[in-house]
A and B are shown apart, each in its own frame.
Chain A
Amino acid sequence: MIRSNPSSCVGEHNSADASEAGVVLVEFVYVIPVLLFLIIAGFEFGNLLHLKQSSAFIAKESALYAYRECSPYHDDAPRSACLFHVRERMERLAEGVIEHADIDIILSVYRDDPGFHDPNAPTPIEPLNKEPGGETDLGFNSKIEPLIVNDTALRDLIQDRELFATAEVNIQYRPIFVRILGVIDFAKFDFYEMSIY
């Protein structure tokens, strides 16, 4: 570079830039992770809100759907098939609105139906999408089912309504940086939403 006039502003600037070129690079290297973090954090935050919103929506729709479709059945086979069908359908719907997250829906219909089963107790219908007596594929448990036998408030509700359907939606989400790094089970967010109809 030719410096024709060392005292000029331009020359001064060029001289300063030349001497601080490495500094800017170093600063930039420092700043980049922070910027990336902020960008990813913003992205993730939006994602989490979206998942929360989706899970509330799916819970409501699943409970309504299960209530309308499956509540009349008192026999095991068609009832299970109906709940299974509703769950499959809602999970397909969920897959359309949720990306990069796993979803488990636990559907149940609880009914106070003396005469068909135990005349003294409401009839808990086994929630679907879980191993009998165990947890779902993603490791969730129904929060309602363990309470249904002894909990007075829930039993009152069943007896008052004669039946209701519940949907418990569990969503498991792994943040994008976990996925980028390929680290499994490093960090994940679980969402739970339920709805009663």
Chain B
Amino acid sequence: MKCPSTNTSLRAVNSDCERGVVFPLMVFAIIAIFAMMGLAIDGGRMYSASLASQNWADSAAFSAASQIVLNSNDYDNLSTTVLNRAKDAARQVATQSARFSSFERRNFSVNVSAAKSGGTIVTNSLVQFDLPLYLMRVVPGFGSKITIRNAARAEVTPTLGMITLDASGSMNCPHSGDCSCYPNCGPDSNLRLAELIKVVKDEILDRFDRTRDMIGVMVYDKTVKPLVAINPAGGFTQLTTAEEDIYKLNAKTFQPSNITLALIRAYEAVNVHYANPLLRNRTPFIGLLSDGAPTATCWHLSDIKGAVSAQFDPPPPPPGTPAGPPMHIGCTWEVTWEGFFDPGDPNNFIVTGDSLSGIRDDRLLQKEGIAPLSTASSYSAVPVIHHAVDKGFDKPACSNLTFQGWAGPTLAGDPEDAINELGTCLNSFKTIDLDGNAFPPTAAQAPINKPDPGAGMKLSGIDEWRKHFYHTAIAQADAIRGRGYTLYTFGLGQAAGTALDEYDNLDDTLGMKSSQLQRIALQYNQPAYIGTHLSQEDPPRYDYPIPHIWENLINNDSHNKGEFFPVDFDQPDTMRKRMREFVRRVKVRMVN
């Protein structure tokens, strides 16, 4: 029967002449439907397996690079042993990751290679396995399995940074933890400092590539001294035994730790090299090692008229930094205590000619768990102000200056003779408290022991001083981090605040960082968001008083993280592990 080809009505389709057409159509349709189902189910599985195995490959490449960092410091001559160890570690990690996956894997393999590429070592991982197909195997053109491949890459990068070691009084305690010999422990007692230098040499310096990594080492107490210089031509000179011994013998007792100054000097030293365009691809870092709280500080002065800045060599700003007001990160004055606590009598503060503040406190806090004394009346000594002559700033210059800074507490408890030391500068020295009010810099006018820290830093006494030491150190750290530096802090207690941001109050025994810096921002009426805050709705956590810095932070988003390694300096084995971890973090980078 011949069917009319022109009639397209429904009636015509259902007519007898087309009976039997549906059957072959249905066959095709069912095949097509199954093929689509197969594509959906098996395609989904392929996609999921591919996503999961990308994670395995990432972990493998990362692990291989970590092993190379830990086992070699000469990237021009990577030994077969090192390479094999890296490959083993990578395979192990990938295999263990894959183990928790529900995908059926056949012929699972992890291939790892490492190659020198310019100044870096690049590790490549390739994770590969066969995924059985459920439905698509019936579709012509597909087999019973499909191979899933995923590759990843990690880098061992050359670094640029400065390690700063605390050499203050408490570092002269033996690392056994028994500090009863202090201050006469002497160089033969396995001092914390000697042990620290040894550990830094073994675990940090010996793991860096001496021709590529640009690393320096500084020691600091009240002041800062270089121990290993960064080589301008690249690399670094090794710490020698002679240098260790020289410093060990010269280690002084009764020295405070001026973390603020250490950060400033380290920043300056590294930034000279970071300004070199050839080194811009490195992430500069500062490693800060301190066994306790900052016990000395510098004043941060915002140099409104720019007169001080002219006397200093300001660090070069990163490229693209908008021009801002003259900035000064500097240590104009050092503030320390005159005297020390009698080890036999916690209430007795012995005045000495040498400057010291926190030795007794550190020991009490760390070893005996006794809270520091809280009132100024417990102390028979008062803080004094010293000129920091090494910065080239002296009284005659100040007659041309107006300072604005958070110097309230520094002068609040001072006796008249300390005030007098400012001489004519006092007339132009404008002290402003955190509420923005002019603050009378005399003891008589300052409220003493006001218990509410939120009302401004109008307190006096040891707590207030400790806060001031602490906050200047943290503010300095924030400023440095705001310029793209990573800060790694080793230690216990308050030093942590220099590296932490989100959960800084964990180790912030004073619990003041956020609120304090917020108040400073209020003073300038320009809140800044330093750090990794989640959204604009979050409260501003990290605000810095120097407008130039927060402008830089906001505009360039250049804030870098800090990382904190809790290290007990009396436990060298743990310290070694943390330092290995530190090296791994500094040098290993995932490459997308």
Interface string of B386-403 (1 = CB under 8 A from A): 000000000000000000
Contact A20 B10 (CB under 8 A): yes
At the interface, yes or no: A162 with Cβ under 8 Å from chain B?
yes
Residue among A16, A157, A162 making CB contact with B9, cutoff 8 Å:
A16
Known: A53-B51, A144-B100, A195-B97. A161 touches B66 (CB 8 A): yes
**Considering the chains assembled together, what is the distance between the CA atoms of A128 and B92 in angstroms?**
25
Interface string of A143-180 (1 = CB under 8 A from B): 11000000001101100111110001000000000000
Closest chain B residue to A116 by CB distance? B574
Q: Which stretch from A69-77, A97-105, A132-140 is at the chain B interface?
A: A69-77
At the interface, yes or no: A188 with Cβ under 8 Å from chain B?
no
Contact B93 A196 (CB under 8 A): yes
Closest chain A residue to B88 by CB distance? A160
**Considering the chains assembled together, what is the distance between the CA atoms of A160 and B96 in angstroms?**
13
Closest chain A residue to B48 by CB distance? A52
Report the minimal beta-carbon distance from A175 to chain B, rounded to whole angstroms.
Answer: 15
Report the minimal beta-carbon distance from A154 to chain B, rounded to whole angstroms.
Answer: 6
Contact B96 A81 (CB under 8 A): no
At the interface, yes or no: B89 with Cβ under 8 Å from chain A?
yes
Known: A73-B566, A161-B63. A193 touches B52 (CB 8 A): yes
Report the minimal beta-carbon distance from B513 to chain A, rounded to whole angstroms.
Answer: 16
Known: A16-B11, A81-B506. A197 touches B62 (CB 8 A): yes
Interface string of B38-70 (1 = CB under 8 A from A): 001000100110011011001100110010000
Known: A157-B93, A160-B89. A197 touches B48 (CB 8 A): no
**Considering the chains assembled together, what is the distance between the CA atoms of A168 and B577 in angstroms?**
26
| A164 cross-chain contacts in B, Cβ below 8 A | 93
Known: A68-B585, A72-B581. A52 touches B97 (CB 8 A): no
| B573 cross-chain contacts in A, Cβ below 8 A | 115
Known: A92-B534, A161-B63. A194 touches B100 (CB 8 A): yes
| A3 cross-chain contacts in B, Cβ below 8 A | none
At the interface, yes or no: B580 with Cβ under 8 Å from chain A?
yes
At the interface, yes or no: B502 with Cβ under 8 Å from chain A?
yes
**Considering the chains assembled together, what is the distance between the CA atoms of A57 and B406 in angstroms?**
45
At the interface, yes or no: A78 with Cβ under 8 Å from chain B?
yes
Closest chain A residue to B44 by CB distance? A49
Interface string of A108-121 (1 = CB under 8 A from B): 00000101100000
At the interface, yes or no: B450 with Cβ under 8 Å from chain A?
no
Report the minimal beta-carbon distance from B299 to chain A, rounded to whole angstroms.
Answer: 31
| B503 cross-chain contacts in A, Cβ below 8 A | 81-82, 85
Contact A60 B58 (CB under 8 A): yes
Contact B9 A52 (CB under 8 A): no
At the interface, yes or no: A125 with Cβ under 8 Å from chain B?
no
Segment 5-64 of A: residues with Cβ below 8 Å from B: 12-13, 16, 20, 45, 48-49, 52-53, 56, 59-60, 63
**Considering the chains assembled together, what is the distance between the CA atoms of A74 and B565 in angstroms?**
10
Contact B52 A56 (CB under 8 A): yes
Contact B96 A154 (CB under 8 A): yes
Report the minimal beta-carbon distance from B195 to chain A, rounded to whole angstroms.
Answer: 15
Segment 13-59 of B: residues with Cβ below 8 Å from A: 40, 44, 47-48, 51-52, 54-55, 58-59
Contact A196 B574 (CB under 8 A): no
Residue among A73, A115, A143 making CB contact with B100, cutoff 8 Å:
A143
**Considering the chains assembled together, what is the distance between the CA atoms of A20 and B9 in angstroms?**
13
| B72 cross-chain contacts in A, Cβ below 8 A | none
| B578 cross-chain contacts in A, Cβ below 8 A | 72
Known: A60-B55, A78-B506. A163 touches B581 (CB 8 A): yes
Residue among B55, B92, B574 making CB contact with A115, cutoff 8 Å:
B574
| A161 cross-chain contacts in B, Cβ below 8 A | 63, 66, 89, 93
Known: A71-B581, A161-B66. A156 touches B92 (CB 8 A): yes
Segment 573-590 of B: residues with Cβ below 8 Å from A: 573-574, 577-578, 580-581, 585
At the interface, yes or no: B507 with Cβ under 8 Å from chain A?
yes
Report the minimal beta-carbon distance from A96 to chain B, rounded to whole angstroms.
Answer: 10
| A160 cross-chain contacts in B, Cβ below 8 A | 88-89, 92
Report the minimal beta-carbon distance from A56 to chain B, rounded to whole angstroms.
Answer: 4
Contact A56 B102 (CB under 8 A): no
At the interface, yes or no: B95 with Cβ under 8 Å from chain A?
yes
Residue among B44, B58, B564 making CB contact with A72, cutoff 8 Å:
B564
At the interface, yes or no: B189 with Cβ under 8 Å from chain A?
no
| A89 cross-chain contacts in B, Cβ below 8 A | 502, 534
At the interface, yes or no: B221 with Cβ under 8 Å from chain A?
no
Closest chain B residue to A60 by CB distance? B55
| B10 cross-chain contacts in A, Cβ below 8 A | 16, 20
At the interface, yes or no: B563 with Cβ under 8 Å from chain A?
yes
| B184 cross-chain contacts in A, Cβ below 8 A | none
At the interface, yes or no: B571 with Cβ under 8 Å from chain A?
yes
**Considering the chains assembled together, what is the distance between the CA atoms of A116 and B574 in angstroms?**
8
Closest chain A residue to B496 by CB distance? A78
Known: A81-B506, A193-B55. A49 touches B47 (CB 8 A): yes
Segment 476-515 of B: residues with Cβ below 8 Å from A: 502-503, 506-507
Residue among A12, A45, A69, A153 making CB contact with B92, cutoff 8 Å:
A153
**Considering the chains assembled together, what is the distance between the CA atoms of A63 and B100 in angstroms?**
15
| B101 cross-chain contacts in A, Cβ below 8 A | 194
Interface string of B92-109 (1 = CB under 8 A from A): 110111011110000000
Q: Which of B55, B97, B580 has the most CB of A within 10 A?
A: B55
| B59 cross-chain contacts in A, Cβ below 8 A | 63, 195-197
Closest chain B residue to A114 by CB distance? B573
Report the minimal beta-carbon distance from B561 to chain A, rounded to whole angstroms.
Answer: 8
Contact A59 B577 (CB under 8 A): no
Contact B581 A192 (CB under 8 A): no
Known: A52-B48, A75-B566, A78-B507. A194 touches B574 (CB 8 A): no
| A63 cross-chain contacts in B, Cβ below 8 A | 59
Residue among B44, B99, B506 making CB contact with A45, cutoff 8 Å:
B44
Contact A52 B51 (CB under 8 A): yes
| B54 cross-chain contacts in A, Cβ below 8 A | 56
Report the minimal beta-carbon distance from B186 to chain A, rounded to whole angstroms.
Answer: 27
Residue among B47, B66, B507 making CB contact with A52, cutoff 8 Å:
B47
Closest 8 CB pairs of A and B: A56-B51, A72-B565, A52-B48, A195-B55, A194-B100, A60-B55, A85-B503, A78-B506
Known pairs A154-B96, A193-B55, A195-B58 / 4 extra A-B pairs, C-beta < 8 Å: A16-B9, A52-B51, A77-B506, A153-B95
Q: Can you list 11 A-B pairs, Cβ within 8 angstroms, ordered by A?
A: A45-B40, A49-B44, A56-B55, A63-B59, A82-B503, A85-B502, A89-B502, A115-B573, A192-B102, A195-B55, A196-B59
